[in-house]
Amino acid sequence: MATIEQIILRTILDSRGNETVEAEIYTDCGFGRAAAPSGASTGTYEAKVRPPREAIEDAQKNLIPSLIGEDALDQITFDALLREHDGTTDFSSIGANVAVALSLACAKAAASSLDLDLFRYLGGAFANATPLPLGNVIGGGAHAPNATSIQEFLVVPTGASGATQGVFVNAAVHKTVKKILQERGKLSGKGDEGAWAPAISDAEAFEIMSEAINTVSDEMNVEVRMGIDVASSELWDGKQYRYKDASRSREDQIAYIAELVDRYNLIYIEDPLYEEDFEAFADLTAQVGDRCLICGDDLFVTNVERITKGIETCAANCVLIKPNQIGTLTDTFEAINLAQENGMETVMSHRSGETTDATIAHLATAFGCIFLKSGVVGGERIAKLNELIRIEELI
């Protein structure tokens, strides 16, 4: 038993300079710390956050006393207590930011109490492979409104020998894109996740990404592929998908995405369609799912009920996992387990508003995710990638 003796909640800053929640849990023989991230483009069905200072004040008075004395090694009971105290389906009472920080801090305190790394504590003896890094290189959408319509142009080092090489391959692509943008007089700033955010069209972004990927692939002698996060719910106006240079109907959107898969050899597409349109997702997956991962983020929001619907409708072959979308580690594990048991890949993901907390690198390894989506550059992104490198050394 690892008895919880003290819990501290505090307000800290995330990568956007916004306030968020950090939790520390002390047991009689261990310690864990975790912080809640936040998203810019969020799914309708995500667990709800509360203003950090208000949520912390309430938790300190009403929640924390009930958690003192609990066993940090009993994660399921700890998370159940969070839900029981909250009393809602979406953590709108205590706040998902408080819930996820506490839940992850509990797991880290438990691992510390056993003198284990978190990935080993959660994954056991069979946590024997690290995920490849999936990184955002050119960004727009909600992350950089004056740039591309498509929210993220991603790089995947599919031919890398492992996560470590993959991290450096992705960094090389990011640097090569910078060079190309400079040569074209298009270099500007970066978006929330450290991706370049030039004022270019989606077509130009695809061209630049392809050039950079081919260059790095040849120089480093490793296969590199492209992916995208369309974040289509941000484009959907109820009737059409409105890009900066075009408007597309539901059918046009499906055809457009399928064309992109073949034209650019895409390996990964996230949220290609509106979050409520399971049928359209299924149509696209039927067309290209044999050669590309169709991943649901806003579609599934790490929610077992929505993943179940996705399985029943064959809506996608991949699920994006964000612990703060659902609120607890137990719920996160159940979502991953359901997806994997039904033949779907899982991708562990950061949020656009991040901290230097590197917990998701451990979760991705422990739970057998194919990719860790955590950006390419920026201190809060590098914290996770460097931790992934360290984890790979231990496996």
- List the pLDDT tens digit at each of the 395 positions of the chain: 999 999 999 999 999 999 999 999 999 999 999 999 988 767 789 999 999 999 999 999 999 999 999 999 999 999 999 999 999 999 999 999 999 999 999 999 999 999 999 999 999 999 999 999 999 999 998 767 778 999 999 999 999 999 999 999 999 999 999 999 999 999 989 988 999 999 999 999 999 999 999 999 999 999 999 999 999 999 999 999 999 989 999 999 999 999 999 999 999 999 999 999 999 999 999 999 999 999 999 999 999 999 999 999 999 999 999 999 999 999 999 999 999 999 999 999 999 999 999 999 999 999 999 999 999 999 999 999 999 999 999 99
Is 211 annotated in a binding site? The answer is no
Please tell me whether the overall predicted TM-score, pTM, comes out greater than 0.85 for this model.
yes
Consult the annotation and say whether 50 binds a ligand.
no
CA dist 29 and 127 (Å) reads 24
Domains of the chain by start residue, with CATH? 4-115 (3.30.390.10), 124-394 (3.20.20.120)
Q: Is 193 a catalytic residue?
A: yes
CA-atom Rg of the chain in angstroms: 20
Per annotation, catalytic residue among 24, 70, 193, 275: 193
Binding residue per annotation — 165?
A: no
Decide if 322 is catalytic: yes
Contact 298, 281 (CB under 8 A): no
Among all chains, which residue has been given the structure tokens 């090389």? 172
Give me the DSSP letters along 186-237: ----B-TTS-B--S--HHHHHHHHHHHHHHHHHHHT---EEEEE--GGGTB-
Candidates 108, 190, 322, 384; catalytic one: 322
Outline where 278-358 has alpha helix (H).
Answer: 278-288, 304-313, 323-326, 329-341
Residues 6+ apart with CB under 8 A from 118: 107, 108, 111, 359, 362, 363, 366
For residue 321, what are its two tokens? 């996992």
Closest CA to 351 of 362, 340, 360: 360
Q: Is 287 labelled a binding residue?
A: no
| 350 labeled binding residue | yes
188 marked as binding residue:
no
Angle at 2 between CA 81 and CA 22, to 5 degrees: 60
